[in-house]
Structure 1
């Protein structure tokens, strides 16, 4: 099965002009097996033939590989720990330069970017601070970015939002809620492929230089070489003293252990050392 799935990943890379070969082979095997079962095909080889003949199937499989699940304040403890870092370490420094730049990488439909905007805005109001906030939310999928720009979410994705936040930052509309314009004005949604070898940060950000980067539950789906390559770019884009958030199943590569210090024993937040400037 492994060789057939590797061929499928090469086909998708050629078909879309994007890097699917860097995805974990074990992940790809699971997704292909799921699709083979759904279509009641005898084996992956038959599915590969279908993939080449059915114009809609490559897009379907690409969505399965690019698992897009998110919700507001997913892993609440992580956000509370981040809130304390914004208060204690980021804002005192950023108040001197007048702006805060954050990057929500592989943002899916924008739930995480909005969650970041909420805790940043709440902290600014609490401290009566007024830096300009720029949150760059990026994904490779245009439909995900369109969802983020629209700022409309079903009730299920807002389970982590408390009542005060719901009243302050959302308006009920139909069967869901629309994000307040104030939050949307803090976020720039733009397409960026984390696996693109020609850029290390969203082009709209011009030069990277982020005080906060959140890249959660994307690295875990890559093969080891791609994991390290993407991590190199995240590290390069993070300002000295900046904070990096990773997913629960993700870790800092050994080469960066002396440059990224884990902030808490629990949670997966790291601070880039001043001496780690690249």
Structure 2
């Protein structure tokens, strides 16, 4: 294969990639594409485009190997300059106009590679609202599955070759020349949070104003692409924008994205997600399921280990739950669960303190004080809280009962009452003694006076 020529076989190959794999390479220069395809075909010793098409169809892994060859240097500053010019002139002003002056602007670069695209966007935002405002308002998330690439992106240091597309005035304004290379503006760099993220498995970011995901979808099959686009729809705000790569085409059953500019692959949110779309958000369901499982386990453990005896009784007066403390306190056995709650000892204690039945507490809790239980070891005192369990329609499902042991408090109160009584008795004795002392003192004074008069008469 010498000089590349456009052939129906090559167009059929591109057509297959576009419609079967979701990778639209038709916008690329044919000569460049054909050279890269032929390089890959030679390594496999395949001599025709038709033969390579058959190989692609029978070897699913070959698709990714081809992309590695075709999409060389897939990221750079302001790649596809016209697209970035359109973004700066049309999209960014709309995002800014939709915001309050101090409201955050949230952007997400999914598949950020070494970071040139997120840094390119920051330059455009800084030009639009100023560096200081950009530092204060813009929140950037840059994610990729490759930790090594993320490490490079965090360094924000680029060689002379990497910054060739940056205009000279912006190079001076947003980069600092060092021995290691050109370092991106430190303050703007700190607005970016880099993190490992698997688009297929991990939950997307949320409330995003602009989502950049260029030449990433083409690495996935059509089914996965559709799933990812649902996730992107979920991630974006109602006024948000999706910015895809030049080689990508949206292939969806429903138009959940509306093209703003097909040439530049910029889209806005279209139709709302349907139930099946929400059900496909596995990350959300799994996360909710995990949270509910954790919560359920937490409350079960907290109830079971609580030092307060707790019971659950349904609307038919059947015991359906009792924690460890309740079982220990009342010595419940499996046989006890077969009987109505009012026939069990804790039920009888409640019945002796109220004439109301359990199912007559539908709207508020009831607290019974000084519920006494006589045992061989002595009298126990409880404060019992009876709380209704209602469903969403305010229908009574049952009640919960919590027996708070107040025996020690009651004993202390009795001791305090005895001490008060003893103190009062002693106070009365003291007063009586003091009265006697006063009477004796008065008698002594009278006796002294009588003795004084007797001496005066003798003299």
State TM-score, norm by structure 1.
0.69
Q: Give secondary structure in 2 for the equivalent of 1:255.
A: coil
Where in structure 2 are there 5+ consecutive unaligned residues?
Answer: 1-20, 24-35, 45-64, 275-459
Q: 1:85 aligns with which of 75, 82, 90?
A: 90
Q: Is the 8 A contact 1:213 1:238 kept in 2?
A: yes
8 Å Cα contact 1:200/1:237 also seen in 2: no
Q: Residues 106 and 130 of structure 1: is their aligned pair in 2 closer, same or farther, counting only changes over 3 Å?
A: closer
- Pairwise CA distance, 1:237: 0.6
Shift of 1:78: 1.2
Asked if 1:179 corresponds to 2:177, the answer is no
Tell me: CA distance 1:266–1:64, structure 2 relative to 1, closer, same or farther (3 Å): closer
Helix, strand or coil at the partner of 2:261: coil
Q: Which range moved further: 163-172 or 76-85?
A: 76-85
Distance 1:210 1:277 in 2: 17
Rounded Cα–Cα distance in structure 1 between residues aligned with 2:75 and 2:168: 20
Report SS of the residue matched to 1:143: helix
Instruction: Give yes or no for contact 2:244–2:265 (8 Å, CA) kept in 1.
Output: yes
Distance change >3 Å, CA 267–CA 140, structure 1 → 2? same
* Residue ranges of structure 1 left out of the alignment (5+ in a row): 1-23, 39-60
Q: Which moved more, 1:219-228 or 1:164-173?
A: 219-228
Give the direction of change, closer, same or farther, for the CA distance of 1:103–1:256 in structure 2 (3 Å limit). Answer: farther
CA shift for structure 1 position 260: 2.1
User: Aligned residue for 1:190?
Assistant: 195
CA contact (8 A) 1:170 1:179 kept: yes
Tell me if 1:235 matches 2:233: yes
Among 156, 174, 190, the residue aligned to 1:169: 174
CA contact (8 A) 1:98 1:131 kept: no
Find the counterpart in structure 2 of residue 123 from structure 1.
Answer: 128
Partner of 1:267: 264
Counterpart for residue 145 of structure 1:
150
User: How far, CA to CA, are the matches of 1:103 and 1:151 in structure 2?
Assistant: 17
The one-character-per-residue Cα deviations of 1:6-26 (angstroms, maximum 9, x if unpaired) are xxxxxxxxxxxxxxxxxx6x9
User: Quick one: which of 184, 202, 213 aligns to 2:211?
Assistant: 213
Q: For residues 88 and 114 of structure 1, what CA distance do their matches in structure 2 show?
A: 18
**Does the 8 Å contact 1:200/1:234 carry over to 2?**
no
Mapped partners of 1:239, 1:85: distance in 2: 18
Is the CA contact 2:135–2:191 (under 8 Å) kept in the aligned structure 1? Answer: no
Task: Point out the more displaced range, 174-183 or 133-142.
Answer: 174-183
* Structure-2 change in CA distance of 1:181 and 1:135 (3 Å): same
State the SS of the aligned residue for 2:182: strand
Q: Distance in 1 between matches of 2:262 and 2:249?
A: 13
Distance, in Å, in 2 between the alignment partners of 1:83 and 1:108 is 22
Instruction: Tell me, in whole angstroms, the C-alpha distance in 2 between the residues paired with 1:70 and 1:87.
Output: 21
Structure 1's 265 and 195: CA in aligned 2 closer, same or farther, altered over 3 A?
closer
- Partners of 1:227 and 1:131 in 2: CA distance: 34
Q: Which has the higher contact order (CA 8 A, sep 6+)?
A: 1
Distance in 2 between the 1:262 and 1:270 partners?
Answer: 4
The residue number in structure 2 matching 1:276 is: 272
CA distance in 1, matches of 2:230, 2:170: 35
CA deviations over 1:94-123 (Å, ceiling 9, x no partner): 225610000000000011110111111111
Instruction: Please give the TM-score of this superposition, normalised by the length of structure 2.
Output: 0.43
1:155 aligns with 2:160: yes
Matched-pair contact (CA < 8 Å) for 1:113–1:137: yes
The alignment partner of 1:231 has SS state of helix
Report deviation, 1:252: 2.2
Q: Is the 8 A contact 1:98 1:130 kept in 2?
A: no
Q: Secondary structure at the match of 1:77?
A: helix
Quote how far apart the aligned CAs of 1:87 are.
4.3
What is the rounded CA distance, in whole Å, between the counterparts of 2:127 and 2:98 in structure 1?
Answer: 18
CA change 1:91–1:277 in 2 (3 A) is: farther
Q: 1:178 to 1:256 in 2, by over 3 A?
A: farther
Q: Secondary structure at the match of 2:158?
A: strand
Deviations 1:6-57 (A, max 9, x none): xxxxxxxxxxxxxxxxxx6x9xxx99x96x959xxxxxxxxxxxxxxxxxxx
